[in-house]
Structure 1
């Protein structure tokens, strides 16, 4: 009886109130039929009784059969599910590893055993696993991270999940999907824009035959290079080309370090037609418009850095630079200087006040060019001032200010940063001279207030850190100084009766040219001497320039001490280190680097010294064989191929030297 009741045990889903109610109704109707039949006739009642008994019997039997079949089905299904779980655990393409609290391996499934090369790992430590696999598991346990991590185990790329509370590691082989993703990434499109830097300059001095030969040479060289890397090349006009390539081919070009730059420069130089190329390449978006705009921006960056280089940038990522091994070619024509001068004149007419500021610790080039911009603005009746704190000046700038005060020359030229912030309005204009980086601008408060109304005038190579939407940009890396550029603009302004500059202001600008050209010995072209000649013609005094640049005995001794610490690295690089407890003027550091560069066997020099209690300055100089700009950019600075610098905060001189050595090693490996 107990077995029968146990077998009659209904499963939970059968024990439904609606089913019970239906059964009761059927039995009740059968019983009512029996009573009614009995009242009609005994024989009919007996028949209805038999029908009632049969109904009850078949109902009970039907429930019994349903219970038996349901229990059998459930048991069979439960067995199949458990069997499926066991089969999946053992045979499915997912590696499973169990470990205990001591990180001892307790069990691995057969699929994972393949990755372990059938080695018996049970009972051993997790440390005996593949090095990369163990590191990822240990990192996940340490960080309490259950997110998926992608690693490489042997030839396989795997995704792992670690559940440390259960002591389980799941390893999924995604090699096939990784290959699909890699193929997708390799086939993505990159857009490049190629520009011949000095095509216009050379074409003006060439005959038709030579010009045709030069054009054919460039076309053939670029076609050969594009064919070598399966890229598509299309000439847009005389000095512009379009380059399309897949990412896999772009990576090959990067590995080749865009040797086309060196080839064109060297082979064209042999023919006395020195050509250089600037290239901007972009990728990383589904929108071709976005990629093409980024490519143009990269080309502008390459040109702003002096040309002869390639800028490759993924949208939203940092740029990579290749080339830049030559100094920028001087432009003989002054067309751009005249156009910029006129454009600047129009901007000034729409401004209610013009503010001009140089970089931090401004030198004579920054101050001289700033004075020149102020004078241009005032010619057109616009209020203008140089932002400068007269209580904190380099010794040469301090001498200039005292000289101007003694002579009673324009006492209202300079204004303090606090006054400038208060006076500035939405219609004011800010001009940055001798720099383009926000991080080194003289006063960041006025920059932040006027960053939407900016003009940049500079002679340093443009870096990644650059104002977003300047109203006008005039960057010419070939120029010796910013004073040279501003002098050319002044020549295109209405001179008036007394001219634009008085003798002392002209002297300040001549001093700026003299300082940055290292007394006309560095980056000096014909236009440099033209600018200096013009300044001399309007009264610039070379004796006053010599006075401004005179060095004090104390500074001379500091510079001599820096030179005495020379440490040669890589046989041709000199590193000078100042005393960590002593503060040096920026000019002294720069002069020490210049002095070291003049020594025999030195191709590049680096002077490291403390500029303030919290900042270390590094000045770098080169003969041109080593691109010190790239080295300084690795440390957050910039400049020219042969003249660059950077500032490092909150470190010691020895730490700065160590970081410099790492940057030099990185540069040498890349080149």
Structure 2
């Protein structure tokens, strides 16, 4: 028992063999030396034994004192550490929450964290009842077992939060100082914007020098004041071009204000009988990216091009890795294309057709009259340049009116031979084959997206406002959102083609005129002087108006279905009509579009939306407006696009009722943005 008590006083690390054996051996050696001395000389041996005993005694005494001092030191150090730990837990800027074994109820919180709850007694509460943001963070740790720590902004402070699963505890390390530094660095990211006056040349061309100078000074003054309000720098580079340099923090404030400068300039210049609008393309340095001013400026210019191709009078903000954000775009685009531009495009297309091995053309999925008419027009232009052109059609995905038009086209043997399926096109196309996309520029909604490859040259001719999705290998892009239809754009090309060959056929002119009539709703929407010029030209070469009337006739059953859709109309925000079919009843897109047009003709309806189930199982939405409401923005939010007054989308994996709820949410959100 005494031995056990004696051993218990010695720390275990001193009883290790590596320490004990050298001591035992040393003691044995001393005994051997004493014994040898005793054998050689008795007197010397006795003295040696006495010395050895004294040395052993002294060593034992010193060892005992060292052990005692060591134990005292360790005990003192332990108490000191406990004191420091207690001090840290209570006074250091580290927050601690300890949960019970079920990891839901709070068992303890240290004073540092307690102050963030304004002296509220929180012990015994469930974290879900304590703080919503804190509960979200806690649930994130619970859901992601690999997550150990996360930066957390809470209560106007920044924390590095660590979750200890086995201990059921969360540690909050105050990093507000560094969070503020990071926040300031984020807000200081460089922003570059290119600003243009959309219709400057057309507006000031008829003004005298004095009035022009007044307009210039007014525009410069308005933009300078606006920029100064946001601590930004603006410089006029040309008559219609400005450069803006700002920071990301100021950009967020501009976005909160919805870029009111765009509306202010439009309204002010309109009252002064000099209707000018501006467009902006804005880009900024992304987080953790190295500053490259050239890249940011190029991206801003690309964004400006996108804004202009969408009709101008708007702001486009986008970086390489983020989706574009749009502001403005509330007015119909003003016509800016010229006959010079049309001639340049026509001549370029002719040259490209002559230098390719084969030509193919296709429109959007479920093509309408405009897509088919435009395809027929491209086929004729290719033939005028001595090149065969194939029209890609998927007849399993086509509407009734387009099917009737195709039946008429097949009566011509040459045209019939050019109509091929996507499967046939994949076999016939070569790597250098020229592919035209007409009435569409988004690859995902074309008839055959797989045919659009990165190494195949693509030409786009479209009249819809340009979106972010665009093919990679676009050789030529002619997107004019102020045109009534793609058929109108292509009709203008005929004037600049070789006229020595066979003239435009009657059925070709009819198909293109049908496209114009359908997209303009019998020349009542988006119709300009050049629309009538194109229609007049097509009539002069034999377009058959009687055939178009027959092609556009609807069945009695379709008329009944259209009225069924309109019966289920609901007014949202007072002047937005939403009609929808049943979740299990299929409608075709033509019937839905006609229902939207009919609904728009009703009193107190400024915009109409028809939600319906399509044959392919997706839910379609057809949207129309009188021009005062931008339905395109709502459709873009739901994955579609179109024009300010005419747009549509298709949504997969939802019911009609769910799509209606999604549409209402988007409409409410857009209304709040415009307020």
Instruction: Give the TM-score taking structure 1 as reference length.
Output: 0.91
Q: In 2, Cα distance between the equivalents of 1:287 and 1:362?
A: 45
Q: What are the Cα deviations for residues 249-274 of structure 1, in whole angstroms up to 9, with x where unaligned?
A: 11111111111111221222233332
SS of the equivalent of 2:411 reads helix
Identify the match of residue 546 of structure 1 among 546, 549, 561.
549
CA offset at residue 645 of structure 1? Answer: 0.9
- Identify unmatched segments of 5+ residues in structure 1: none
Once the 2 structures are TM-superposed, how far is the Cα of residue 87 of structure 1 from its aligned partner?
Answer: 2.7
C-alpha distance in structure 1 between counterparts of 2:665 and 2:210, whole Å: 50
Deviates more, 1:341-350 or 1:7-16: 7-16
3-state SS of 2:265 partner: helix
Q: Which residue number corresponds to residue 427 of structure 1?
A: 432
Q: Deviations over 1:79-103 (max 9, x none)?
A: 3223322332333322223332454
Q: Secondary structure at the match of 2:574?
A: coil
Give how far 1:469 is off. 3.7
Aligned ranges for residues 367-516 of structure 1 at < 5 Å? 367-390=372-395, 392-408=397-413, 410-447=415-452, 449=453, 452-499=456-503, 501-516=504-519
Report the secondary structure of 1:398's partner residue. helix
Q: Does 1:555 align with 2:580?
A: no
Moved more, 604-613 or 158-167: 158-167
Q: Which string of whole-angstrom CA distances, capped at 9 and with x for unpartnered residues, describes residues 279-329 of structure 1? A: 111222433333223222221221221111101124412221100011111
- Contact 2:258–2:327 at 8 Å: present in 1 too? yes
* 8 Å CA contact 2:232, 2:247 repeated in 1: yes
Tell me what 1:232 maps to.
233
Tell me what 2:217 maps to.
216
Contact kept? 1:359, 1:366, Cα under 8 Å: yes
On the 8 A contact 1:201/1:332 being kept in 2, the answer is: no
Alignment of 1:654 with 2:657, yes or no, is: yes
Change (3 A) 1:35 1:429: same
Bigger mean CA deviation after superposition, 71-80 or 509-518: 71-80
2:364 — aligned with what?
Answer: 359
Aligned-partner Cα distance in 1 for 2:582–2:139? 44
Which residues in structure 2 correspond to 1:270-285 (within 5 Å)? 270-283=271-284, 284=286, 285=289
| Matched residue, 2:92 | 92
Between the aligned partners of 2:654 and 2:131, the Cα distance in structure 1 is: 39
Asked if 1:303 is matched to 2:308, the reply is yes
- 1: CA distance between counterparts of 2:257 and 2:497? 48
Q: Assess, with a 3 A threshold, how the Cα gap between structure 1 residues 209 and 218 changes in structure 2: closer, same or farther.
A: same
Matched, 1:603 2:584: no
CA–CA distance in structure 1, aligned partners of residues 13 and 582 of structure 2: 87
On the 8 A contact 1:130/1:153 being kept in 2, the answer is: no
State the match for 1:120 in structure 2: 121
How many residues of Structure 1 are paired with residues of Structure 2 in the alignment? 668
- SS class of match (1:286): coil
Match of 2:352 in 1: 347
| Residue 314 of structure 2 is aligned to residue 313 of structure 1 | no
Q: Within 2, Cα distance between the matches of 1:619 and 1:134?
A: 42
- Residues 628 and 640, structure 1, Cα contact 8 Å, conserved in 2: yes
Question: How far did residue 433 of structure 1 move?
Answer: 0.6
Paired with 1:324 and 1:167, the residues of 2 have a C-alpha distance of 53
- Which residue does 1:634 correspond to in 2? 637
Question: Do the aligned partners of residues 10 and 560 (structure 1) sit closer, same or farther apart at CA in structure 2, a change above 3 Å counting?
Answer: closer
**For 1:573 and 1:3, how far apart are their aligned partners in 2?**
92
Answer whether contact 1:11 1:71 (CA < 8 A) is retained.
no
CA contact (8 A) 1:34 1:46 kept: no
1:570 shift after superposition: 2.3
- Please identify, of 339-348 and 134-143, the stretch whose mean Cα deviation from structure 2 is larger: 134-143
Q: SS at 2:437's partner residue?
A: strand
2:183 match? 182
| 1:58-108 Cα shifts (integer Å, max 9, x gaps) | 444443443333333333323322332233233332222333245443332
Distance 1:104 1:582 in 2: 51
CA contact (8 A) 2:385 2:498 kept: no
Contact 1:107 1:122 in 2 (8 A): yes
Alignment of 1:222-261 (within 5 A): 222-261=223-262
Distance 1:423 1:503, change over 3 A: same
Measured after TM superposition, the shift of residue 548 of structure 1 is 2.6
Alpha-carbon distance between aligned partners in 2 of 1:181 and 1:437, rounded to the nearest angstrom? 38
Relative to 1, partners in 2 of residues 1:369 and 1:92: Cα closer, same or farther, differing over 3 Å? same
Deviations 1:601-630 (A, max 9, x none): 221112222221512222111111111111
> Are 2:127 and 2:134, in contact at CA under 8 Å, matched by a contact in 1?
no
Judged with a 3 Å threshold, the aligned counterparts in structure 2 of structure 1 residues 37 and 564 are, in CA distance, closer, same or farther, namely: closer
Q: Distance in 2 between matches of 1:63 and 1:582?
A: 96
Gapped regions of structure 2 (runs ≥ 5): none
Q: Which residue of 2 aligns with 1:76?
A: 76
Shift of 1:358: 0.4
Give the distance between the partners of 2:493 and 2:611, measured in 1 at CA: 36
8 Å Cα contact 2:283-2:300 kept in structure 1: yes
Work out whether residues 433 and 456 of structure 2, in 8 Å CA contact, stay in contact via their aligned partners in 1: no
The answer on whether the counterparts of 1:576 and 1:607 sit within 8 Å (CA) in structure 2 is yes
After superposition, where does 1:43-58 map in structure 2 within 5 Å? 51-58=51-58
- Which is worse superposed, 398-407 or 458-467? 398-407
Deviates more, 1:552-561 or 1:272-281: 552-561
**In 2, Cα distance between equivalents of 1:649 and 1:134:** 34
Secondary structure of the structure 2 residue equivalent to 1:412 = helix
Change (3 A) 1:46 1:139: closer
> In the superposition, relative to structure 1, how do residues 615 and 451 fare at CA in structure 2: closer, same or farther (>3 Å)?
farther
Residues in 2 aligned to 1:35 and 1:438: alpha-carbon distance in whole angstroms: 104
Which deviates further from its counterpart, 181-190 or 106-115?
A: 106-115
For 1:583 and 1:428, locate their aligned partners in 2 and report how far apart those are by CA, in whole Å.
38
For the structure 1 residues 270 and 28, does the alpha-carbon distance in structure 2 shift closer, same or farther, using more than 3 Å as the test? same
CA distance in 1: counterparts of 2:5 and 2:406, whole angstroms: 115
The answer as to whether partners of 2:353 and 2:385 remain within 8 angstroms in 1 is yes
CA distance in 2, matches of 1:461, 1:38: 116
1:115–1:382 CA distance, 2 compared to 1 (3 A):
same
Structure 1 vs Structure 2 CA RMSD? 3.0
